Every structure is written in C-alpha cells, then in structure tokens.
Chain A
C-alpha cells in the first residue's frame, strides 16, 4: 500500500524550476534511483483513509486548468520531464517504478503504461527494473492485466485487506470476498512474476479468527509477498468520527500485538520471511525493492499531487491538490510545495529510524555512546537479536519488532 498522508510537513519553499543544491547529486551514481507515480483518484473514499486522494473525476486548478482523470497521465508525464531537467546529466537508469494511489487502476491501462513510458524514455529502465502498480481487485480483469504486463509492469499489488465481509464493510471496501485471491491467479496467468496482497489487521469488529481466515485466504492465493498493516485510526477520518460516537469500538494495542504475532506465525509457517516490520516475502527476489529504497535512504522521485521525493539528503513534497498540481506544471513551474535539507545528524537519525525496521537492521557504528549503551540494554531485554549484534548490527527480534519505535527512541541518543 503506497499512500501518502494528506497533511504535508512544514519546510522551506522549492525553487520555481525545482532545482536541487549541488550537494544532492554528489555521489548519486552509488545510489539506486526509483520513481513513484501517484494517482490521486478513487471511486469512493474509504472510511479509514486519510491519504491524498479524490473521488471527483474533474478538479479545477487556478487559472482554469482542468485536472481530470482523463488528462491526468499527460500531466504526470510533464513532471517526469521536469525531473529529467532537474536531475540534469545524472546518468542513472531507473531501478524501480511504483504506481500508487488512490486507485491507479481507475485509469485506463494505457494511461499507466504511458506514464511508465515517460520514465523509460527520459531515464531508461534498468534491465532488471522492478515495475509495480497497485490495483483494486474490482477494477482489473484479465485483459487489463495483460495490457499492463505487455506495457512493462512486472509486479502487482492488490488491496485485499480482509477475507471477511463484515470487516470489509467497516473499512468501506467494496470488493467481494474471494475476488483478490482470484486476482492473484489472473495476474499469474497474465505473466506477472511478483504479486503482493495487502492486508489490514485490527479493524474494529475483527476477531482473531477473522484475521486467521484472512491470512489463510491470502496465503492460499499464492502471492510471493504479503504486507500486513495495523489499522491506524487517523484524526479527521470517517472511522475516527464513528469511533468517537461509539458506533464502532477502538481496537486495543494489545490486540494489535496479538494479531501481529498471528501474522508472523502463519506467514512464516507458509514460507514467508519478514524483511521489514510490515512486509513478508517468499524469497529475496520477492521483496519489494521500491519499498526498500525508502528504508535505505536511496533516491527516488515522487511524481503526482502530494508525492514525496528524496535525492541525496533533500526531501521535498508536491502540492496536494490535483488542480494546483496541474496548474503548476502547465505554467512550467515545479509542483514542489516545500522541502527540507537534512543535516548530517538528521540523516544519521533517519538511518537508524528507517533501517532498524529491516531484518538486516542498522550498523552499530552509526550509534553514539549513549545509543550503544541503550542497544546493550535492548539486547539484554531481548529486543535486539544476538547473532547480528555480534556481527556489529542492531537487528530486531520478534518482540523488538513490536516495540521498534521505543528501541529507536533509545538508539538515537
């Protein structure tokens, strides 16, 4: 699930031409480069969702620029071309492309292929590039999948969430149980090498058995990757209001912990290994390389309204509204709304914060004296694993994964 939250951080302004400081591109060839392409449209808004997505098919920006689902791909291509200008003579080919939303598959398959084509045209795709799109189980069919595959997509991620009707109803998901599992088979038939199913646990009203049933169904469908996220109730969502009104119960943190342990148990029994706190894959090749770019501080360009980018210690984010986004590009301006230049310390803290979530963990050499002492305590408390520790890495144990944020708070000292 590749969504961005709707609230943007504070930061300094992005120059009109989107130019990056020279420091951002220094040593760039040592880092992989990825592209995230955001599609900010959904057929309906789900009650738990606080992502930057819109259900209207047409949105008007300043100066009368029309941002519609139909011309969206063209607008996004404009940003890919801007990216080429900003990155200048950066020789890197693109290692990963990830199309997320919203609901990318609300667009015609041709649109998604066109967007990918722009990346290929401007930057070139590495021979083994991972090219993923998210997909809604109800908005794809074999023909659509075949068109994507033919257009260069080789990985697909379906939003399954749950196998139980009553859970899907609380989430406002409209697909029928069983449909995501059939999607996996259809995607395999269409030639997709890698297929992911997204699951959500801890939905109000979900029981342990409901969750087991969802995991069973997901495993049975034969994907090579499963993401399982705890349902976080964000302020301002319909679900938050329903909980506040007492219409549905709030899920206890201990229940989340139990569900996580169930997921770990069932997925590992089925041959999946965790490689990031919320992600499991059947093999090294099944891991989502694009996702790993995020956790490893690599470079990626996020195109689309509200998308976030990172290149060499500069993080920036685009304006949220599709209308404002389209208007900026129509005027030849960068759609960047703000950015921050990370200090050395920021980058150190981020590495600990992000890399600790991966099964490989974070090198102990990144820690200062206080952080090292904390790591020693975390090891003694069974939060860090002994093997990696002896090899100079802080890597989480199963219990540590559930308390990862607490471990991070101590390790960054």
Chain B
C-alpha cells in the first residue's frame, strides 16, 4: 500500500533542505523504468489502477525498445520511514540511456545532487552505464549503488556487489539489493536517497538562474521545457530570457510533474519543474541553456552549455520520389522535438531528391529512420552512414565533407577524421577477439583493466568512421553478445584516406562513393563491385562496373549484355496472359532507377547500402 504523506510542501514554497534531486543510471533492460514505476506507486503519485508498465516512457519506440530517449522529471513526496512527519520532495530526473545522448545525460546529471546506479544482478555493469557513472562522478554526484533483479535465479549479488563496490569505492555491504519487479527494497532505497543525497544549495535572493535539462515538443502545448532552478525564483506570468540567444518569452505556465503536469505559482531554489512559453520548436529552448528573468535577470549563464553537434551523416531518400514533400514535412516535425537533428536538401544522380541528415550517433540515426518509416509511413533508402571529414588542400583551402561524393578532387595535403575513445566491457575470455577487431578497425589500445576476476574494461582510440557502420554488430557477434560498448568523441586525427568511386558504364554513382583508409580501399572496391554484379540485371549492352580512386581503377567486373529477352514459347491463343506478363514487366521496369543508361533495381541500392551489409566506410572483412 502506498503511504500517502501529509503536509506535502508546495512548489515555490519548498525549503531546499527538504529537496532531493536524483537520477537513475542504468543500462537498457536493467530495470530503470520498472524501478521508476515502483517509486511512482510507493509515493502515491500514481494510483494503482492507473498504473501501466513504463509509465514515464511516452513514445512507442521507447517502450518497444525498452530505452528512454527523452528524459522527464517527476516530483515525488516521500516521508522517510524513520521520520514520518517530515515529508521530503524527491525529484526523480530520468536520463537518456544511450551513448548518443551523452550531452543530454550530462545536463540531466548537472540537475542532480545524487544518482542511483542501478545494475542488473545477473549481468553486472555495462560499458554505457560505466561511462555515465564516470560522468556522474565528474559532476560530484553522490552515488547510491543498487543491484536490481535479485529475485532472478541467475542473480549473482555477491559477485556484482563486489564489482560495484570497487567502482564506486564503497563497502560491498553498502550496495542495496532490490527487486523493482516485486518492489522489494524500494522503500529502503527511497530512504537512502533522503539520507544520502545532499540537499540543493543556491542563493535565494539572487537573480533567477535555471538550467534546461530537457525540452520536449507537445502538439497541444508547444514546447515543454524542463528546468532545475539553481538560484532565485521563477514565477508564473513573468517574462523570461534564454541566455544563449537573448530571446525573451512570456511564461504561460510553470509547474511540476506528478507525473502529469500540474501548474504552480513558481519554482524556487533547488526545485525541478516545467515551463511553457508557447514556442513551437525545441531549438528555441535548448538543453543546457540558462533561463533567467527578463527584468533584473542574471548577468552570467550557468556553465556547461554546448550546441549539439552531429557526428554521423546519412542521405535519406524516399523510395518513391513523389514522397519527397512528405519526407521534408516529417523531418520538420521531428526537428520540433529534436534539437540535435540537422538536415539539408541533397540531390543524388542515382537516388533523386533527398536530405543529408546529421545525427548524434548510430542509435539516433536508427531511431529517426524508424520513426520516419513507422510514424510517417515513408519507405526510405538510407545511404551508408559516414562521418565528417576536414580536408586541407595544398593551396591552403579547407573543405568540410559530410557527403563522400563531395570529397574534393585535386591536390590534397591533409585529411582529418574524427576519433573516439571507445570503452568496451566484456568477459575476459573475449579479449583476443575484441583486440583483433579493434586492430582491423585501425584502433590504438589505450589500456585495459580488470573490473573483477573475469570481466575486463578495454579502452581504444578508434576512428569514428570505423565504428559507425557495423562495429557494434561485429563486437556483439565476436563476444556472443556479452560485450558492451561506449564511446566519446575525443577530437580528430590525420589519416591516409581516399575516396573510392563506383562507376557504372563509366558513370559515377554518387550514392556508392565512400571514403576509406587507403589500405582498405581495394577490398572495399572489390567487394562492392562483385556485389553490384550480382544485383544488377543484364542490360541490352555490356555494363562495366568499376571501383576507382580518382582516375585509377582498382576493381572491375562486367555485366554481360543480355542476349535473349523473348518468350519464344507459344501460349496458343492466350494473349491475355501475354499482355499481363508485359504489364508486370512494365511495373518491374518502373521500380528501376536509371543511373546514366543503366537500369538499377532499387533492391540493389538497398542491399548495398543497408547496414547489415558492410558496404560503407571501408572496412576490410577478413
């Protein structure tokens, strides 16, 4: 039974000493959403009968994939078990669970004083969780280590408590053991949050400063901005100012979530809640930005704001060219809710009109593509993902290349590519195959540590281009699914990179151009050319398929001219059948894309570009 506390402090009139702001760091599937569900029930903010699984995850895709993309904050009243008269306010700030959203995670963490480190007692910590734990430690957050799913038969609480204790620097006995599913240990956990997470500290009388940690587009209310007040107070109906842009807005509504939106008079020091200003686009209300009052506002913004920077690019083209306007409209809509999504129109000789779209990372790309296909009913061809290259020419000019087909010709002096620091956690028996994989992807070993007797953390510097394609799939298959991966951008390096072009009957096919390391170019060319020979039907004339670096051909295959395309058999008087066969063939012809004079089936583009076939970003398959 939920214990409904009495004398719950109201927003804008809550003593910061009673506030605890915390988040939950957990890997996908380790039970964060289930734990959040239990907390909602125990604190009585959601009644039993309204409860549904993963209450806070709003998008279907999130619920289906069991991941949280956009975070939220919920105000939970909690009277500690040994201090029933003293109701505290717990603000649970949900964090995105994926590496692509590290920046958003860091802002969510900056809104908290403490975090629950939630780890599956049957699986141990995963690389992304570890990365987020390190982020939390850098933010000086109080860490409460918790093992979940201890009711599972496969749970190894002792082993993993040891692992967590080593990472956090506590005693294994301090690791809480809960079952979010049954609710066991969750009350004790809430008590621990009150006892251990520090109360927020801010200057009550200073000009208001609140940090945006999330910004969500709602089709009814416009943009809903989630903030944590650091100093001062924000009040309803006042005008506010976004400090990065200087734009001012009227505060139409201010309030907290419990978990539905509940308007309030204002938000004071240490409080967490939402703002509605009527803006229609999340880019006007950016994560990390500081909100202040228009009158007597703060002079100095809070630190840590960054513009989201796309790391991975892919060309998105409608399978049916006439869907182009729908694709534009769909991207416009998604952008309302996704400040990190950038795109611009692009024309491909092979694929027609489409967009070059920038993403934070691979999951971001996957999620956007899936939403475009599912929510907007679009059939898309996505070109192989690529990274951003910086190309310095001998004449001193510089080019930024987001599309391989735009790689400059002429005398190139240096090519820079982005690199990441990758952290891989895996059982130690896989060290050999992981290192082998990283070596073939031009990785440089940074170091290796044992987390426990049989689990190891391996760190590599890797070119981002080497992991944007199928690295994770390869890693999973080489480690029977046990390895986890995290990476963060660490800058750029010069590399011997070349552009490999594919020519069909002498015409360059822009969609198939790729930038690869020069040592991998030959293998890439040979593989792609062979694959295209299989996929492109014979034409009325002989079609050479070539892979070339500049004007130097590195691989070649030939599609022989078709010599027979006639039904020599007589179908008697059944002319209807012959005509219908012709109609069917005409339909088939319509599904072909003309590349110069060559008819290429769309299936060929999809097969070559699809991510389960390693065709892009130049890796040599061994």
Give A residues with C-beta under 8 Å from B: 1-5, 7, 9, 11, 36, 100, 227-230, 232, 253-254, 256-257, 260, 277-278, 291, 294, 300, 302, 307-310, 315, 317, 340, 346, 349-350, 353-354, 381, 383, 401-406, 408-409, 412
Contact between chains at A9 and B570 (CB < 8 Å): no
Contact between chains at B576 and A401 (CB < 8 Å): no
Contact between chains at A402 and B577 (CB < 8 Å): no
Contact between chains at A409 and B572 (CB < 8 Å): no
Least distance between A407 CB and chain B CB atoms (Å):
9
Cβ contacts under 8 Å, A340 to chain B: 576
Least distance between A243 CB and chain B CB atoms (Å):
16
Contact between chains at B571 and A5 (CB < 8 Å): yes
- Contact among B540, B574, B585, B589 for A5, CB-based, below 8 A: B574
- Contact among B540, B575, B585 for A315, CB-based, below 8 A: B575
- Contacts A349-B582, A403-B562 given; indicate if A11 touches B568 (C-beta within 8 A): no
Q: Classify the secondary structure of A's interface with B.
A: mixed
Q: Which of B545-590 contact A (CB under 8 A)?
A: 560, 562-580, 582, 585-586, 589
Contact between chains at B569 and A4 (CB < 8 Å): no
Cβ contacts under 8 Å, A406 to chain B: 540, 562, 565
- Docked CA distance A116–B239 (Å): 100
- Contact among A36, A253, A254, A349 for B573, CB-based, below 8 A: A36
Contact between chains at B579 and A402 (CB < 8 Å): no
- Contacts A11-B576, A353-B578, A412-B582 given; indicate if A403 touches B570 (C-beta within 8 A): no
Cβ contacts under 8 Å, B578 to chain A: 353-354
Cβ contacts under 8 Å, B562 to chain A: 253, 403, 406
- Docked CA distance A291–B570 (Å): 10
Please give me the residue from chain B that is nearest to A307 by CB atom.
Answer: B573
Contact between chains at B567 and A405 (CB < 8 Å): yes
Contact between chains at B566 and A403 (CB < 8 Å): yes
Further pairs besides A4-B573, A5-B571: 19, Cβ < 8 Å: A9-B574, A227-B570, A232-B569, A253-B562, A257-B564, A260-B564, A278-B570, A300-B573, A302-B573, A307-B573, A309-B573, A350-B579, A353-B579, A403-B540, A403-B566, A405-B565, A406-B565, A409-B582, A412-B582
- Contact among B540, B572, B576, B579 for A3, CB-based, below 8 A: B572
Interface residues on B, range: 20 to 34
Cβ contacts under 8 Å, A401 to chain B: 566
Least distance between B477 CB and chain A CB atoms (Å):
32
- Docked CA distance A1–B565 (Å): 21
Least distance between A126 CB and chain B CB atoms (Å):
20
- Contact among A5, A310, A383 for B577, CB-based, below 8 A: A5
A-B contacts, CB under 8 A, total? 113
Least distance between B574 CB and chain A CB atoms (Å):
5
Contact between chains at A403 and B564 (CB < 8 Å): yes
- Docked CA distance A73–B579 (Å): 32
Q: Classify the secondary structure of B's interface with A.
A: loop
Least distance between B312 CB and chain A CB atoms (Å):
41
Least distance between A373 CB and chain B CB atoms (Å):
14
- Docked CA distance A5–B574 (Å): 8
Contact between chains at B572 and A4 (CB < 8 Å): yes
Contact between chains at B572 and A2 (CB < 8 Å): yes
Least distance between A4 CB and chain B CB atoms (Å):
4
Cβ contacts under 8 Å, A227 to chain B: 570
Contact between chains at A253 and B563 (CB < 8 Å): yes
Cβ contacts under 8 Å, B563 to chain A: 253-254, 257, 402-403
Please give me the residue from chain A that is nearest to B577 by CB atom.
Answer: A9
Contact between chains at A381 and B540 (CB < 8 Å): yes
Least distance between A103 CB and chain B CB atoms (Å):
15
- Docked CA distance A383–B568 (Å): 17
- Docked CA distance A253–B538 (Å): 11
Contact between chains at B585 and A253 (CB < 8 Å): no
Least distance between B57 CB and chain A CB atoms (Å):
48
Contact between chains at B575 and A4 (CB < 8 Å): no
12 A-B residue pairs with Cβ-Cβ distance under 8 Å, sorted by A, are A2-B572, A4-B571, A36-B572, A229-B570, A253-B562, A302-B573, A308-B576, A310-B575, A354-B578, A383-B540, A405-B582, A409-B586
Top-7 shortest CB links A-B: A308-B573, A257-B563, A230-B568, A404-B566, A4-B572, A257-B564, A9-B576
Contact flags B395-426 to A (C-beta < 8 A → 1, else 0): 00000000000000000000000000000000
Contact between chains at A1 and B573 (CB < 8 Å): no
- Contacts A2-B572, A3-B572, A310-B573 given; indicate if A353 touches B567 (C-beta within 8 A): no
